[in-house]
Structure 1
């Protein structure tokens, strides 16, 4: 399981080139190029320490071939630069925003046959307990293979094994590389996995308006985690429940239970969420910062996975028109010896006409009670 998947990908490409030269040429020429230009500005007012801010610029370029006899190929280069960052910004953002350079983050062969698809190589990947985050300029990626099958009616089964992980940065000012160190969205924040990790997930929609999700991940010799969720929609309402269980090697099990309800009235949406964790250990929600599904999230600082914590959140979102929205949310975390409050103010806008493809999101989080810091996050993306 310790094969070099990129080398295998290139070998398969060579085989296809020799075997189907003329057809492969058509397949490649009929492929598509896409990309994203990004400008993200984050600024933190730290009553608990030193203020910091950073502007990071990014460019992603992807090429995806047309399909031939079920085979396909995709590559993505992502690059980033923070040309005006100061020393405080470097110190405060070295793990997620200060990471200049370029990386081949996707390079995989895909194959589809009837209701089964497979990918092998470097890729962006998302499942409940193994998922890269795209919330920063530098996206997280994995190296390994994925098999997805939908032979069972209204059911999707996904099996994946990953032996390397690309983090957002290397912690030293450079874009992340593919290594054995896998990040997580909870303490201790990373694990070195010499033998990688595998996950399986099942999503079933056989009952009308009901979605059932079950997932399992084994971060080999580090921890194991299980995730269950049931979500039911009716009229303009929805209700869902979630459960996490995780166990790090040599430690107690951690667990989280969550409830969430939503109601929509025309352009106005309301959401109420609640999560509670067990007393014995923090919950490990999976591998990759995208494996972060607890309902009581916030735009910046909330930490839903601490042991012995109750969290409650209310959110109201107003859709001004097809292009614009605003929202406000309040979240409170009640822990063993603290009580933290977070207020989120968010606005988003999608441009049209000559600026089609450009979207802007502005989020401002205000800490209260035992939460001391405030954060502004501005994200500008142009997709082409």
Structure 2
């Protein structure tokens, strides 16, 4: 929307203007500055590509949020990415790390009265179905994606709904991490088309139990491209273990009448193993319809299903008529945490879903995390994935039929 674009510009100008009244000046003096310096190396031979693509990049972000002035505050976040080296002939990283340039990803006004706030402009959003990329998850990258939106958040509902947070919003544009052509992403309507709206409710009124539900609807340019999705999740803490359940139902009319409906449920357990500081995570999800599950807007939604793999996300588990199980253990040794994990996805061969051509998929991997101090950490990921079939007969030139994908990533972060 042009109004949001103009508002983003106004916010940027206000934040660098010093001609303010005394009380407004105090709000600017109370501004908080945060930032992050990042570096990443990644290598992948996606779906058995004959030679690996790789990329090395440095970048970071700088954010400023003013103090409140009669309930009103403003914020901006700049991001930058610079390529040191890249071999991206197979375009493996064109939607992720292949970005050169700087971008204004947040520029918003946030007005709060009592326990209700209205946030307008470019902003990061973190909900199950509308989510910016998340640190420490498969969506983690040098650049975060962002949204142009109106978002209302309320945590002051009537007494019969205590400890409940309600968020509702309208999203008009989306900024991807890249533009697919070697540059940082711009705010465009492609993902949201004629606009998206969402409602998210989270409740903690029962001890040790967290319940949440969300709905997302996207108005397509035509009725044949409309999308909507409904999501439920419950998390219960029992003796240091967290037991979780989820359900998702989606409709993506752009896939056609036979594949438009997607539906999945899942369960997950995490907690200590009772042996020193060892921990575990195990999860199972099942998609029950022929259509692929649509998980929502933003790179962060690649983590939505409990069986999302730490590097490649939940794409395999989202396909129709597939059962997926994953498990891993956390092993802390001398300040370093090692996380070996494995997962397998079983696809119903009778499914009419074209993704069934891929058949069963198996993944194994290792994450190594070293937090040098509270501000600086290093993380290395390696994941090996094999497929029963790699779309036989339809692979482009330059791809092998060994049905294997190897991905390696090294990520450094310093926050200030």
Relative to structure 1, the CA distance from residue 253 to residue 199 in structure 2 (aligned partners, 3 Å threshold; closer, same or farther) is: same
Matched position secondary structure for 2:299 = coil
Is 1:262 aligned to 2:270, yes or no?
A: yes
State how far apart, in whole Å, the 2-side matches of 1:73 and 1:93 are: 33
Is 1:314 aligned to 2:327, yes or no?
A: yes
Give the corresponding residue for 1:275. Answer: 285
State how far apart, in whole Å, the 1-side matches of 2:193 and 2:405 are: 37
Shift of 1:30: 2.3
Matched position secondary structure for 2:92 = helix
The answer (yes or no) to whether the contact 2:131–2:298 under 8 Å persists in 1 is yes
The answer (yes or no) to whether the contact 2:46–2:92 under 8 Å persists in 1 is no
State how far apart, in whole Å, the 2-side matches of 1:237 and 1:30 are: 40
State how far apart, in whole Å, the 2-side matches of 1:169 and 1:14 are: 25
Give the corresponding residue for 2:143. Answer: 138
State how far apart, in whole Å, the 1-side matches of 2:112 and 2:369 are: 37
Give the corresponding residue for 1:180. Answer: 189
Q: Please list, as runs of the form range in 1=range in 2, the aligned pairs for 1:7-26 lying within 5 A after superposition.
A: 7-11=6-10, 21-26=21-26
Shift of 1:77: 0.6
Relative to structure 1, the CA distance from residue 149 to residue 372 in structure 2 (aligned partners, 3 Å threshold; closer, same or farther) is: same
State how far apart, in whole Å, the 2-side matches of 1:106 and 1:15 are: 14
Shift of 1:21: 2.3
Shift of 1:263: 3.2
Is 1:124 aligned to 2:136, yes or no?
A: no
Q: Please list, as runs of the form range in 1=range in 2, the aligned pairs for 1:147-162 lying within 5 A after superposition.
A: 147-152=152-157, 153-162=162-171
State how far apart, in whole Å, the 2-side matches of 1:367 and 1:18 are: 55
Shift of 1:242: 0.4
State how far apart, in whole Å, the 2-side matches of 1:326 and 1:58 are: 26
Give the corresponding residue for 1:225. Answer: 229
Matched position secondary structure for 1:300 = coil
State how far apart, in whole Å, the 1-side matches of 2:106 and 2:14 are: 20
The answer (yes or no) to whether the contact 2:55–2:88 under 8 Å persists in 1 is no
Shift of 1:336: 3.1
- TM-score calculated relative to the size of structure 2: 0.83
State how far apart, in whole Å, the 2-side matches of 1:378 and 1:93 are: 15
Matched position secondary structure for 2:133 = coil
Relative to structure 1, the CA distance from residue 330 to residue 124 in structure 2 (aligned partners, 3 Å threshold; closer, same or farther) is: same
Matched position secondary structure for 1:304 = helix
Residue from 294, 301, 308 that aligns with 1:297: 308
State how far apart, in whole Å, the 2-side matches of 1:87 and 1:19 are: 48
Matched position secondary structure for 2:39 = strand
State how far apart, in whole Å, the 2-side matches of 1:58 and 1:350 are: 19
Shift of 1:59: 2.1
Residue range with higher mean Cα deviation, 367-376 or 210-219: 367-376
State how far apart, in whole Å, the 2-side matches of 1:19 and 1:204 are: 43
The answer (yes or no) to whether the contact 1:267–1:320 under 8 Å persists in 2 is no
Residue from 271, 276, 298 that aligns with 1:288: 298
The answer (yes or no) to whether the contact 1:346–1:361 under 8 Å persists in 2 is yes
Q: Please list, as runs of the form range in 1=range in 2, the aligned pairs for 1:336-351 lying within 5 A after superposition.
A: 336-337=348-349, 338-351=359-372
Is 1:195 aligned to 2:194, yes or no?
A: yes
Shift of 1:18: 11
State how far apart, in whole Å, the 2-side matches of 1:129 and 1:47 are: 27
Relative to structure 1, the CA distance from residue 46 to residue 155 in structure 2 (aligned partners, 3 Å threshold; closer, same or farther) is: closer
Give structure 2 stretches of 5+ with no counterpart.
Answer: 135-139, 221-225, 350-358, 389-402
Relative to structure 1, the CA distance from residue 13 to residue 133 in structure 2 (aligned partners, 3 Å threshold; closer, same or farther) is: closer
Give the corresponding residue for 2:392. Answer: none
Give the corresponding residue for 1:88. Answer: 89
Residue range with higher mean Cα deviation, 304-313 or 335-344: 335-344
The answer (yes or no) to whether the contact 1:6–1:107 under 8 Å persists in 2 is no
RMSD: 2.2
Matched position secondary structure for 1:130 = coil
Structure whose residues are more often strand by fraction: 1
State how far apart, in whole Å, the 2-side matches of 1:225 and 1:361 are: 33
Is 1:382 aligned to 2:383, yes or no?
A: no
The answer (yes or no) to whether the contact 1:53–1:88 under 8 Å persists in 2 is no
Residues 6-38 of structure 1 deviation map (CA, whole Å, 9 limit, x = unaligned):
313555788998996222222112212221111
Number of matched pairs? 368
